[in-house]
């Protein structure tokens, strides 16, 4: 493999590693926000103090946030899977090109 192709491959692997670190950091922050949301949802459901329409509005709002968090979780899972597969492909290319 030429030196230029090897440096491009190494740069690509480094980029994938860097993006995976950012994704894991984002996932940790996302999970903390999800726990905070779950706590708020439980307080809203079991707190119940107040007007019935207000509690209903809060419950619907928390339900919508739950859907958004579920969508975010699925998006994180897909991006982590894609970056893991990309890294494996780049490693396979690197190994197959060595004599």
pLDDT, tens digit (0-9, with 9 covering 90-100), for 70-90: 888 888 888 888 888 888 887
In a domain, 1, yes or no: no
Give the total number of structural domains in the chain.
1
Q: Is 41 exposed, middle or buried (0-12, 13-18, 19+ CB in 10 A)?
A: middle
For residue 88, what pLDDT is reported? 81
pLDDT in tens, 1-58: 577 777 777 788 788 888 888 888 888 888 888 888 888 777 777 766 667 677 777 7
Evaluate if pTM is beyond 0.75: no
Task: Note whether 23 and 80 are within 8 A (CB).
Answer: yes
Environment class of residue 77 by beta-carbon count within 10 Å: exposed (0-12), middle (13-18) or buried (19+)? exposed
Whole-number pLDDT of residue 1: 56
58 occurs within a structural domain: yes
pLDDT value at 67 more than 80: yes
The answer as to whether 12 is a domain residue is no
Classify residue 7: in a domain, yes or no.
Answer: no
What torsion do the CA atoms of 67, 72, 77, 81 make, to the nearest 10 degrees?
140
CA dihedral 30, 75, 26, 43 (to 10 degrees): 0
Q: Where are the beta strands (DSSP E) in 5-51?
A: none
């Amino acid at each position: 493999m030429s030196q230029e192709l090897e440096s491009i491959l190494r740069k690509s692997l480094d980029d994938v590693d860097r993006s995976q670190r950012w994704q894991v950091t984002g996932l940790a922050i996302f999970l903390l926000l999800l726990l905070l949301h779950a706590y708020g949802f439980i307080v809203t459901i079991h707190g119940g103090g107040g007007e019935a329409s207000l509690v209903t509005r809060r419950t619907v709002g928390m339900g919508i946030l739950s859907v958004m968090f579920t969508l975010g979780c699925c998006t994180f899972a897909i991006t982590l899977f894609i970056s893991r597969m990309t890294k494996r492909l780049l490693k396979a290319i690197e190994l197959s090109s060595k004599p």
